[in-house]
Chains A and B, each alone.
Chain A
Amino acid sequence: MSAGSRLALLLPAFWLLLFVGAPLLIVLEISFSEVISAIPPYAPVLRWGEEGLRIALNPENYALLIGDDLYIHSLLSSIRIAATSTFLALLVGLPIAHGIARAAPRHRPWLLLLVILPFWTSFLIRVYAWIGILKTEGILNTVLLTAGLIREPFVILTTEWAVHLGIVYAYLPFMVLPLAVALERIDPAFREAAADLGARGWSIFFRVTLPLARTGIAAGCLLVFIPAVGEFVIPDLLGGPGTPMIGKAMWTEFFGNRDWPVASALAIVMLVLAAGGILALDRVQRRSGEGLS
């Protein structure tokens, strides 16, 4: 290994240590501390006393996370909402991506641009716009009521439906882009061969196209699922108090309850779970990769 490439490795390592490792250690420390009324609002774990270094570990925060079913419930409900939304985004995204992949090559860049276009407007404003559409006296209800299709306004805002809608809407481009790329790469010869061998439209799609696009599907699902689990803005603005999500729980601990230790403990637990999930996924992918080669 040359000196140059060693340096190239050292820099990111240093960066990670300074901006990920060190803050993480601080969060870990706070997660074992106790709330007090002071600046900052927690008692330090490591204290220099008369008899030297004293360590006051307070495991209560973790005990609370396990003891109070609120957090487990929030986590499970986050995973459930994220999984459903991911599935819905896949259902909506597949035809769009399929359409883009099958479009004439000179149209593709424009179609992809249209998918990315919403990013030019602030995420927050786009989520806010949904409030205006979904609320009881909002656009959707006004249109449906005037058209005589419903008699009582739908309550969609502050329900789980609104959260699903918001997540699918906001993360759809992350699903469409990898799908479109994967579908585009598939050699038309495969489909032609399948057709020659007697497969029909849907059968080709499910038995040839989808399996060949599975890396794109996996990438799109991960890109939607992972941020959706920790999503805070969408459940906060569109959801109600009945849709507990882990991002909101953390916000409440930090801001509402001014409980940094519990918020930190929650962050650590989430990190361990996420890291565990990614490692497991990595192992699965490697194994399937070995199987292929």
Chain B
Amino acid sequence: MRTWSLLGRTLAALLFGIGAAGAQDKVVNVYNWTDYIDPAVLEDFTKETGIKVVYDTYDSNEVLETKLMAGKTGYDVVVPTSYAMARQLQAGVYRKLDRAKLPNLRHASPTLQDRMNRYDPGNEHAVVYMWGTTGIGYNAGKIAERMKDAPTGSLRMIFDPEVVKNFADCGVNLLDDPADLFSAALKYLSLDPDSKKVEDLQKAEAALMAIRPYIRKFHSSQYIEDLANGDTCLAFGFSGDIVQAKARAEEAKKGVEVVYKIPREGAQMWFDSFVIPKDAPHPDAAHAFIDFMLRPDIAARCTNAIAYPNGNKDADALVKAEIKEDAEIYPPAERLATLYTISPFPQRLQTQLNRMWTRVKAGR
């Protein structure tokens, strides 16, 4: 349904140049990831500022980029991942932030903004909203049933055909995202996860092809629900999404126990930031929205709802202990050292990567 509504909206945006709402300044059109906010926060924003929020979601950087590159999306605030944002920035998609309109920028974590500097020189366009890791989520009961000594904390769970084949019957889901999967496959092969060498990527493609027969689905948001109700027993996905699946499974009380693990070989660490498209129809409202989201209490509420660490240095005290003390969500220093980041692909290589990914998904 999401994909379909996305498609419909994109077509509408393409055909008529409209994204969501007209040009009066009492509206802000926000385009964010699925399951990536505490919805009550949006109501509070409208109560405090009188600005209505038109909220729309996506589940892949690729879809966001397609819409942005079509131009005139009508969106005022979008939340791309660092490496994708860097490429979009080069294409001139975003406008510079007006710091005078963002007093709450003082709460932004300097360490995270420093890391973002690599993608957004001078931190002129982006403010980190949340960050996280890409790792392994699984249904503890079903995995133990099928393999007693399953290497749950290792990339072998996904990339070792001898391991993953045991779980083919209970459903394995991979993100529909070439950047996440290729970097992880490279890491599994002990190659540079940020490699831009074609021969390395071809090795990663071969590794993905080898496990392809055991994959039931490539989807970047459905797995939250599927893990929670037992339709999927193993997923390679985003940290907070899998922790949300765990919470939903506990609520449902159907005996499903979901676990998230950061692979011990290392995992991708990514940052999602607020940015304003150049052709945003309501730039002032966009700044007001970003400033509101930068408030420590608001950032903490979102983290409590979605289980991703935020980019706010003053919010930690307000985050629930069970989230803050979970080493798989807030990795301690020695785990942080094993995480890696990736950089954007040059256009030609990106096209090649996309071809490889299309082949992997089709399994031929």
A70-B362, A258-B65 known; 10 new pairs, CB 8 Å cut-off, are A39-B69, A39-B91, A39-B92, A40-B70, A40-B71, A41-B66, A73-B364, A241-B217, A255-B7, A256-B357
Which B residues are in CB contact (< 8 Å) with A124?
A: 1, 4
Size of the B side of the interface (Cβ < 8 Å), in residues, is 42
Interface size bracket, A side: 35 or more
A241 and B215 form a contact (CB under 8 A): yes
Is A136 engaged at the interface, CB distance under 8 Å to the other chain? yes
A257 and B354 form a contact (CB under 8 A): yes
Is A240 engaged at the interface, CB distance under 8 Å to the other chain? yes
A70 and B364 form a contact (CB under 8 A): yes
Q: Could you tell me the distance between the alpha carbons of A135 and B359 in the complex, rounded to whole angstroms?
A: 26
Nearest residue (CB) in B for A138 is B231
Is A31 engaged at the interface, CB distance under 8 Å to the other chain? no
Is A51 engaged at the interface, CB distance under 8 Å to the other chain? no
Which B residues are in CB contact (< 8 Å) with A241?
A: 215, 217-218, 361-363
Q: Could you tell me the distance between the alpha carbons of A276 and B308 in the complex, rounded to whole angstroms?
A: 53
Interface residues of B in 170-187 (CB under 8 A from A): 170-171, 176
Residues on A close to B: CB < 8 A? 35-41, 68-70, 73-74, 124, 128, 135-137, 152, 155, 158, 233, 236-237, 240-242, 244, 249, 251-252, 254-259
Contact indicator per residue, chain B 85-97, by CB within 8 Å of chain A (1) or not (0) = 0010011110000
Known: A136-B171, A241-B218. Is A40-B69 also a contact (CB below 8 A)?
A: yes
Interface centre among B216, B230, B363 (most CB of A within 10 A): B216
Tell me, rounded to whole Å, the shortest Cβ–Cβ distance linking A263 to chain B: 10
Interface of chain A: mostly helix, strand, loop or mixed:
loop
Tell me, rounded to whole Å, the shortest Cβ–Cβ distance linking B39 to chain A: 22
Interface of chain B: mostly helix, strand, loop or mixed:
helix
Contact indicator per residue, chain B 339-359, by CB within 8 Å of chain A (1) or not (0) = 000000001000100110111
B364 and A69 form a contact (CB under 8 A): yes
Interface residues of B in 308-364 (CB under 8 A from A): 347, 351, 354-355, 357-359, 361-364
A73 and B362 form a contact (CB under 8 A): yes
Which B residues are in CB contact (< 8 Å) with A258?
A: 62, 65-66, 69, 354
Q: Could you tell me the distance between the alpha carbons of A256 and B68 in the complex, rounded to whole angstroms?
A: 13
Which A residues are in CB contact (< 8 Å) with B91?
A: 37-39, 41
Is B60 engaged at the interface, CB distance under 8 Å to the other chain? yes
Q: Could you tell me the distance between the alpha carbons of A86 and B60 in the complex, rounded to whole angstroms?
A: 34
Is B229 engaged at the interface, CB distance under 8 Å to the other chain? yes
Choose among A70, A135, A255 the residue that contacts B62 (Cβ–Cβ < 8 A): A255
Q: Could you tell me the distance between the alpha carbons of A254 and B91 in the complex, rounded to whole angstroms?
A: 18
B358 and A136 form a contact (CB under 8 A): no
A256 and B358 form a contact (CB under 8 A): yes
Q: Could you tell me the distance between the alpha carbons of A241 and B181 in the complex, rounded to whole angstroms?
A: 16
B231 and A135 form a contact (CB under 8 A): yes
B363 and A242 form a contact (CB under 8 A): yes
